[in-house]
Chain A
């Protein structure tokens, strides 16, 4: 199942998904954990709900906080006992970010990730290459005249770019 989870719009668990859709990512508060594709499954067991999450980066310091926020939101909505389990496989991919999530990123000023190119970096190219040969569009003015300032940004999932047209810096959610 190496694709985004399908969010149910009806059925007994749809209200749980709706509540999860209000839990924002602490590092990118424009998006919910559902928008990001972190919620893989919601299961109803006899002893309560099980919410299956997939962590983003191995070292993401927000993972524990996200678990706690999810449990608090589910408890506050009155769904009874719940637990979170982490599932590593298949590994999270930015391809799982929903179309709605991508629009929210753009509105927030972060250039959303393009499709993951598994062959990127094979063979290796050095210095001066444009990743995947794609030009990122500036999330503010839409210009394709942009360049990367820094391969790493304020969080593990982002890189820093600037727009040569409107002169504004912006962040890019890296495809992984």
Chain B
């Protein structure tokens, strides 16, 4: 079986991996809708968004491999790390749920990524800035599309509104983690690599409040619960999604299409 790799432990690599893994794992979750979306147009939309996310992740993983100086390529980083070395916030690894859960999570993450890419367009790291300059256009479109569905469901039938309310109650408690800085954020801010994630909180919240209001919803009360995916400590769901993503590369080392 193919052995695991150890990614770079320096702050810059970890900062880029957090973002890369957010795109990678959400892209994988969204791709699960392929062939299962409620209507054909959404099947196409979700798979297109997944493609964008995986593409963004590929660029970031390649770059993370270069920053670390360890020579890992995108495939090694995507498929050969141990669970604790994936640094996405827990929210994106949660099972895909129903369509309401999916569109609400997509709206939350796309809103965050749009703001993040905007800031990273001015990164002191030219390659990261270039990746961001392209990705921001895609995230903007994803946000708009997902937000349209959130409003349509929230302001729709009793059933669609109930499902969206349930999704919001489940998802909201996983968002505070995004905005609690640590040494990785501090180092990125100090070097000009990118913002502390907490710097995006006010704008993210403003966009979310406007969206939730249009969908006849309001943000749930803050909870004391804190997820820890950004530090590599994941929910029980992470192992299963990684098993699905990794088994081919583990069983057939270096296998390509």
| In-complex Cβ contact of B41 among A87, A150, A156 (8 A) | A150
A133 interfacial contact with B, CB 8 Å = no
| Contact status A91-B55, CB under 8 Å | no
* Contact pick for A92, options B50, B134, B214, CB 8 Å: B134
Interface residues contributed by chain B, number (CB under 8 Å): 37
Query: Is A99 an interface position by the 8 A CB rule?
Result: no
B-side binding surface: helix, strand, loop or mixed? helix
**Is the beta-carbon distance between A88 and B51 smaller than 8 angstroms?**
no
Does B205 interact with chain A (Cβ within 8 Å)?
A: no
Residue of A nearest to B51 (CB): A59
Question: A150 to B134, Cβ gap below 8 A?
Answer: no
Closest to A125 in B: B144
Question: How far is B41's CA from A160's CA once the two chains are assembled, in angstroms?
Answer: 9
> What is the size, in residues, of chain A's interface with B at 8 Å between Cβ atoms?
28
Whether, in the assembled complex, A176 has its beta carbon less than 8 Å from a beta carbon of chain B, the answer is: yes
A126 close to B54 (CB less than 8 A): no
Rounded to whole angstroms, the CA-CA distance of A122 and B145 in the bound complex is 14
Inter-chain contact B41/A89, CB cutoff 8 Å? no
Instruction: Tell me the smallest distance from the CB of A125 to a CB of chain B, in Å.
Output: 9
- Does chain B have a CB within 8 A of A166? no
CB atoms of B44 and A156 under 8 A apart? no
14 A-B pairs with C-beta separation under 8 A: A57-B55, A58-B58, A59-B56, A60-B55, A91-B130, A121-B143, A121-B144, A124-B210, A127-B151, A150-B45, A152-B45, A153-B44, A154-B44, A156-B51
Binding site for B on A (CB under 8 A): 55, 57-61, 87-92, 120-121, 123-124, 126-127, 149-154, 156, 160, 174, 176
